[in-house]
């Protein structure tokens, strides 16, 4: 029997019976499509490959408990879900890194240094002036108005990925321009 000639429904049945060749056929049949979706969502080859690997690993580990009607739809929805979770984790990680940077600046200000806080504020303003108008606007909405990525995207009528790009760009410029205010203590 050639697994390549089997329907998705038949492959699922064989997969649930621990048929490794059925799993391999599903893998070869859908890997590239799932990689394309994950790559489109994450923008990185390595993360896309990792997410597809995680999906297939989960498929194999849960093969006997799964109740899949349409294999293609199940896999597409699963990879999109994994991609969204990855993006959310990256956003959370980036916000945590921002918190650490700004918190470290604040903690390192001694009583004498607190006098220089005004200088820091001016330096932040000067750094923001170096940014393109849209990037600066996105940063101010996010950090000074505490708006979410989604709210900023809707308000400016740009994608959430574009908002993320502008925030990443602004943080890079701030980090470079404010390195004199950062200590290694």
Flag whether 17 is in a domain.
yes
- Alpha carbons within 13 A on the beta-carbon side of 15: 27
pLDDT of residue 39: 92
| 78 and 10 within one domain | yes
CATH number at residue 54: 1.10.1740.10
Kindly report the pTM of this predicted structure. Answer: 0.52
Helices (H), 62-115: 71-107, 111-114
> Which of 6-15, 71-80, 111-120 has the weakest average pLDDT?
111-120
Nearest to 107 by CA among 121, 93, 117: 117
CB 3 within 8 A of CB 43: no
What whole-number distance in Å separates Cα of residue 34 and Cα of residue 172? 32
Same domain, 72 and 118: no
Note the pLDDT tens digit of each residue in 41-70. Answer: 888 899 999 999 999 999 999 998 888 889
Q: Please report the DSSP string for 157-177 in residue order.
A: T--HHHHHHHHHHHHHHHHHH
pLDDT at 121 over 50: yes
Asked, for residue 26, whether it belongs to a domain, the answer is yes
| CATH (domain of 164) | 1.10.10.10
Q: Which tokens is 6 given?
A: 């089997």
Domain ranges, residue 142: 108-181
Q: Which two tokens stand for residue 39?
A: 């790559």
Residue 17 corresponds to which tokens in the numbers above? 């019976």
Both 126 and 169 in a single domain?
yes
Task: Work out the angle at residue 152's Cα, subtended by the Cα atoms of residues 148 and 158, and round it to the nearest 5 degrees.
Answer: 135
* 58 & 115 share domain: no
With 70 as the cut, is the pLDDT of residue 185 above it? Answer: no
Instruction: Please tell me the predicted confidence (pLDDT) of residue 95.
Output: 79
**Who has greater pLDDT, 146 or 115?**
146
pLDDT of 112 higher than 60? no
pLDDT at res. 100: 75
């Amino acid at each position: 029997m050639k697994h390549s000639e089997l329907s998705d429904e038949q492959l699922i049945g064989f997969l649930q019976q621990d048929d490794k060749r059925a799993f391999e056929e599903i893998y070869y049949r859908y890997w590239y499509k799932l990689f394309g979706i994950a790559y489109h969502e994450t923008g990185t080859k390595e993360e896309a490959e990792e997410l597809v690997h995680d999906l297939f690993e989960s498929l194999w580990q849960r093969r006997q408990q799964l109740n899949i009607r349409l294999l293609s739809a199940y896999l597409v929805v699963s990879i999109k879900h994994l991609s969204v979770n990855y993006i959310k984790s990256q956003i959370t990680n980036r916000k945590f890194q921002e918190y650490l940077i700004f918190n470290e600046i604040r903690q390192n200000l001694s009583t004498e240094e607190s006098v220089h806080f005004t200088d820091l504020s001016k330096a932040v303003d000067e750094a923001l002036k170096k940014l393109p108008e849209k990037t600066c606007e996105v940063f101010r909405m996010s950090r000074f108005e505490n708006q979410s990525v989604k709210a900023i995207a809707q308000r400016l009528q740009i994608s959430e990925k574009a908002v993320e790009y502008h925030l990443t760009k602004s943080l890079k410029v701030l980090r470079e321009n404010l390195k004199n205010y950062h200590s290694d203590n």
